[in-house]
Amino acid sequence: MAPAAAAADATKLSVSGAALAALLACCGSADGDSDGLLFGVASRAAAAPPSFYDDDDDDDQARASSGPSLSISVAGHASVAQPSSLADPLGRFTRSSYSPDPSAAVGFFSSSRRRSPLRPSMREAALARSLSKTLVLAHPLVFLLVAPSSSAAGLSVHSFDYRAFLLVDFRLVPSSLSVVNAGPGFREQYHAFAPESPLPSLPEQPVKQGYSIGEQKALDGMVEGFGLERVGSMVTSASALTSEMEEMYSGMLRKLEGLARQVERSNERVLDQSITAR
């Protein structure tokens, strides 16, 4: 087996059923070709448990060389539903102004109606390399090639052909993609799941007069002096997170406390009135 293929085999690539469905729906409803980024989590699983049996030496060597296996899980996608929104004609990654921040991406997808069995095109191959250089990933870049059914088949039935690739040694190597659905058959996957996905970065702080007076009031009422800047800076700077959060919660609790007291007092007054009325 070629080393690249072995490396691709050591990587377990999965996608949640919902994320895949959303991606296919997006590709199928686009008027033509589209492409976009894929987001998700990559985690390095612990080394395989030691074998209890006296296996052949070959087997041990194979296990030792494969090392800890890597699992990449695709959780969602972002697309502007336009052809070649990610690359220039020479296949170099370009970030358009309205595309999401690519730093959390694990790869990209490309959707186009083709006739031949699914193979990366010359531009996709170049984009994979260019994107992997930009992202500086610790795992192989994921590329999902989607081919929606051709229009000749009629619009009532949609079929999709898709194939996953991993960029190993600058080559796109076909990889199997397991779809993770809800249900007893997939319980193992959920038990192994750890919610460690990084928070997506929030959009840049809009200019101050972005809110109407009414909106501003409502916001202020909700957060008691915590403006959007303060919340935004809380989310982006993780160090100050805990103390700031506690302060916000205690502020909210103080307000709740005040409200409770008010209700208590008004209740007492109502009670007094009803007593005096007798």
Partner 1 sequence: MTPPADTAALASTSGAPLAPLVAAQLNFVLSQANLPIRVGQIWSGCRDGRYADRFTLAIPFCLDYVYWDFLYNALSPKVAPDVVFGPDDEGFQPLVDFDETGSGEKSCLANWDCRDTSALLSLIKELREFYIEYQKKRAAEVDDARLKFEISTVLSKEGIEVCTVSSNGRPDEVKFAVPLLDLDLAKLVPGCPWKLPQKIHLQAVFPISRSYSSVPSAPRLKLVSTPDLKSFFSVDDVKLPPWLDGMCMAEYLPNLEENLKIQVVEASASIGSRRRFIEALAPTFGRPLEADPVHFVIPLQFPKHQPVLTLESSQHFNAQGLPIMSAPVNDYPWSPRWDPTEMVERIYDFLVDECQTFKKFCSDSIPQQK
For residue 155, the minimal CB distance to partner 1 (Å) is 8
Nearer to partner 1, 169 or 268 (CB): 169
CA distance 28 to 5: 30
For position 113 contacting partner 1 by CB under 8 A, the verdict is yes
For position 124 contacting partner 1 by CB under 8 A, the verdict is yes
For position 156 contacting partner 1 by CB under 8 A, the verdict is no
For residue 145, the minimal CB distance to partner 1 (Å) is 10
The conformation of residue 194, written as its DSSP 8-state character, comes to -
Beta-bridge partners for 60: none
CA distance 254 to 137: 45
For position 35 contacting partner 1 by CB under 8 A, the verdict is no
- Region of 26-34, 96-104, 184-192, 249-257 interacting with partner 1 (CB under 8 A): 26-34
Per CB under 8 A, which of residues 229..268 are in contact with partner 1?
none
- Region of 109-117, 178-186, 189-197, 258-266 interacting with partner 1 (CB under 8 A): 109-117
Exposed / middle / buried, residue 151 (Cβ in 10 Å: 0-12, 13-18, 19+): exposed
DSSP 72-86: EEEEEEEE-S-TTSS
For residue 3, the minimal CB distance to partner 1 (Å) is 15
For position 25 contacting partner 1 by CB under 8 A, the verdict is no
22 and 76 Cβ atoms separated by less than 8 Å: yes
For position 172 contacting partner 1 by CB under 8 A, the verdict is yes
Q: How far is CA 190 from CA 18, 180, 183, 193, 195, in A?
A: 14, 9, 10, 5, 10
Nearer to partner 1, 122 or 194 (CB): 122
For position 114 contacting partner 1 by CB under 8 A, the verdict is yes
How many of the other CB atoms lie within 10 Å of CB of 100?
A: 18
Residue listed under structure tokens 């193979």: 119
Nearer to partner 1, 126 or 144 (CB): 126
For position 30 contacting partner 1 by CB under 8 A, the verdict is yes
DSSP 37-103: EEEEEEEEPPPPPPPSS---HHHHHHHHHH-S-EEEEEEEEEE-S-TTSSB-TT--B---TTSPPGG
- Region of 51-59, 118-126, 223-231, 264-272 interacting with partner 1 (CB under 8 A): 118-126
For position 79 contacting partner 1 by CB under 8 A, the verdict is no
Question: Where along the sequence are the contacts to partner 1 (CB under 8 A)?
Answer: 28-33, 82-84, 89-92, 112-117, 119-126, 129-130, 148, 150-152, 155, 170-172
